[in-house]
Amino acid sequence: MAKRAATGKALVVVESPTKVKTIKKYLPPQYVVKASLGHVRDLPPSKLGVDVEKNFKPQYVILRSKSKVLQELKKAAEKVERVYVATDPDREGEAIGWHLAQELPVKKDQVYRVLFNEITEKAIKAAFASPGRIDLKKVDAQQARRVLDRLVGYKLSPLLWQKVQRGLSAGRVQSVAVRFVAEREREIKAFVPEEYWSLTARLAATAPPEFLAPLKEKDGEKVSLASESDVQAVIRDLADAPFVVKAVTKGERRRNPAPPFITSTLQQEAGRKLRFSAAKTMMVAQQLYEGVEIGDEGPAGLITYMRTDSPRVAAEAQAEARELIAARFGQEHLPAEPPVYRARKSAQEAHECIRPASPSRLPNAVASALTRDQLALYRLVWERFMASQMRPALYDTVSVDVAAGLYLFRAQGSTLRFPGFMAVYVEAQEEAATPGEEVEETIPETTVGERLACRGLDPKQHFTQPPPRYSEASLVKELEERGIGRPSTYAQILTTIQQRGYVKREKGVLFPSELGLLVTDLLVASFPEIMEVEFTAQMEEFLDEIEDGDRKWVETVKEFYDRFARSLKRAQKEMDDLKGGKPTDQTCPECGSPLIERWGRFGRFLACTGYPECKYSRNLENGQGREVVETDEVCDQCGKKMVIKEGRYGKFLACQGYPECKNTKPLTIGIPCPADGGGLVERRSKRGKTYFTCANYPNCKFLLWYRPVAEPCPKCGAPFLVQKGGGRGRGPVLACGREGCHYRKSAEGAGVG
């Protein structure tokens, strides 16, 4: 090792080159700033790398991609007296620093740890003025997580290769996330909608405007309208009833601002408002945190650290925000004291929320220096933080009870009196209001005893809705609420389950693939501890306790592994072997041998046990996990039966003799084309939208965007009706598609046109 010159120089190691540029300008020239580009050591990629027999001792190796980086860091370390680890302020950053300390040629007592939540001149100088040491408890917590995940991944994956399909993998946390998506999908499939109705009165007082009052009670009891006949009975009861104001209640409602962002809420809100994926949100946030070139100023960090579960705000940031609010919006928008937001029990209170590094740096002032995505996210962070420091919005509310015979209608309205935080920002909503919920509107001045004119009674049919599929935003929310994962892992969880093909994302929603459903079922049956939500959440708490010094990492890993090893041994014998074949009660239609269920590249299929003499097989999947349907139609090329399959553009008929016979035909839905009499065929566009066209396309260009129903129009005699509607809160409607005919009826009701 070369002798170090007593230059007083110091090496500062950060994670990214962008950080290097930003931090460098705040430090004296004797500080050499270099990037490690993340971890330089990790468990080996091609073997377990954990000695289970020796207290789970990990075997760390230099990452091949980082050997050159490490050599450069070593050369730099030979020329300095001290090393400052300035990696991210979390477990992963602490572990990166610890690994560096093991490899760099510098005395261990000359390795210091500097922590800062924002990359600003003040924060950097304060961190270097009082450096600390690497926190070995944080390192232990990261090491425990890494070892646990390696044990699960390297022990479970070969089992799935053996039982299902080569190349599959499983993860301690990711598999639980897939389970959430799979179980939600099954809830949706099993959901049976129930019909219900609402009745709303359109009323007019002496003063305008007209207003709406939904029916609430009958004879003091809550009204439940299950069918159209129930509604019609109420309408008959109200035929001659006077509508009289029974009570008027006025009040005030406060709407409080949302807390400043933490990692999970930033990912949720960026998903809802900006349509960012969780991974994209974190990527852009990292850019804003590490530093962006701002004109002549050079690189500047714009937001605080983006991996945090604490809504705590530094007093200096609150003071700066309050000064800005008073100047821009007026003193009346400031609460008497800066608000305090409470964190979850497991939150790391040492961290801060995600906020602008300098609240006085307005989004418009840096717009020219930012990309479109950077500006959108910075504006979101800035507005949310400023709103969190402002007074609540105030509404004047009014509720009017209207009696009509035995029935009570209630109108509710509100008027914004003082916008408060809403002058800056309003939080997005995950879901639209449920049908039948109160719709607040402007209600005229009324007095008790005043008789109102009823302008009409509006019945509406509704259907209960299944739970919505998860979006990335709502899945992050679910993970956080159930204690699965931590701020640094949410985006990686979502990315991993999609990359592995277990979960798909289309049009903003997540749904499980057939493979995801299959692997989930196998793991739930064979590894209940790993797939148990409460158990996984408890492991997260144990990792937090290791970081706090209340648990030992080796003991924690051992407790987990002992249970896991027993389940693994049992699964080797008992888990269904879909690769080798699962027995069924079906026989081969060609040779009479038993059929077995197997799993291949394209999903589940039935195969003849007489293979290779008999090559009969049949897909069990049509893209949605349903069994392929045999038909009575015969292939005109080889004489075998045709089956219904589903491809990228919809359902079609395919020969059962595939792949020897590749004959296919359009699948008609049994309704003739009104243009040339050919059968109508269901198809799907590239964007996934279903439409119907003539089987004689392209000779016949007839096209229909609504589903046809084989029921003639009783009004004009058209050969079929089309199904419309069926959106949130509205039952499907059957309507005539012929131009000029306006006949329509509810799918289960009487005609209304």
326 half-sphere exposure, CB direction, 13 A CA radius:
11
Tell me which CATH code domain 10-134 carries. 3.40.50.140
Quickly tell me which residue has 């906020």 as its tokens.
355
CA distance 534 to 543: 14
Residues of the chain with pLDDT under 50: 1-7, 432-438, 622-626, 726-729, 749-753
Query: 368-405: buried (b, 16+ CB within 10 Å) or exposed (e) per residue?
Result: eebeebbbbbbbbbbbbbbbbbbbbbebebbbbbbbbe
CA distance 349 to 310: 6
Per DSSP, 719 falls in state S
Measure Cα distances from 137 to 99, 142, 535, 717 in Å: 14, 9, 22, 79
CA distance 631 to 634: 8
Give kind and range of the element (H or E) at residue 323: helix 315-329
Instruction: Give yes or no for a contact between 140 and 58, defined as CB atoms under 8 angstroms apart.
Output: no
Determine if residue 94 is left, alpha or beta; phi over 0 gives left, psi from -120 to 50 gives alpha, anything else beta: alpha
Instruction: Give CA 313 to chain center in angstroms.
Output: 27
Q: Write out the DSSP string of 531-543.
A: H-HHHHHHHHHHH
What's the token pair of residue 125? 């100088």
Instruction: Give yes or no for a contact between 280 and 498, defined as CB atoms under 8 angstroms apart.
Output: no
CA distance 588 to 237: 65
Instruction: Give yes or no for a contact between 118 and 303, defined as CB atoms under 8 angstroms apart.
Output: yes
Q: How far apart are the first and last CA of the chain?
A: 92
Domain with CATH 2.70.20.10 in the chain: 195-256+393-463
Can you give 155-202 as a three-state secondary structure string?
A: HHHHHHHHHCCCCCCCCCCHHHHHHHHHHHHHHHHHCCCCEEEEEEEE
CA distance 621 to 370: 47
What's the token pair of residue 23? 């931090």
Domain with CATH 1.10.460.10 in the chain: 145-190+468-573
- Architecture label for domain 195-256+393-463: Distorted Sandwich (2.70)
> Which are the contacts of 132, defined by CB distance < 8 A and separation ≥ 6?
112, 113, 114, 115
**Per residue in 36-73, pLDDT tens?**
999 999 999 989 999 999 999 999 999 999 999 999 99
CA distance 665 to 1: 76
Instruction: Give yes or no for a contact between 734 and 710, defined as CB atoms under 8 angstroms apart.
Output: no
What's the token pair of residue 695? 């089987």
Domain with CATH 3.40.50.140 in the chain: 10-134
Write down the pLDDT at residue 623.
42
Domain spanning 145-190+468-573, CATH class: mainly alpha
Domain with CATH 1.10.290.10 in the chain: 263-388
- Long-range pairs for 616-624 at CB < 8 Å and ≥24 separation? 616/588, 616/589, 616/590, 616/591, 618/643, 618/656, 619/643, 619/645, 621/514, 622/646, 622/651, 623/647
- pTM for the model stands at 0.79
Residues serving a catalytic function are 305
Counts for the chain of helices (H) and strands (E), in that order = 18, 35
- Using alpha carbons, select from 65, 20, 19 the residue that is nearest to residue 42: 65
The percent helix, strand, coil of the chain (3-state, each to 5) is 35, 25, 40
Instruction: Give yes or no for a contact between 720 and 710, defined as CB atoms under 8 angstroms apart.
Output: yes
Query: Burial, 697: exposed, middle or buried (Cβ in 10 Å; 0-12, 13-18, 19+)?
Result: middle
CA distance 256 to 264: 20
Write down the pLDDT at residue 151.
96
Write down the pLDDT at residue 731.
59
- Architecture label for domain 263-388: Orthogonal Bundle (1.10)
Write down the pLDDT at residue 322.
97
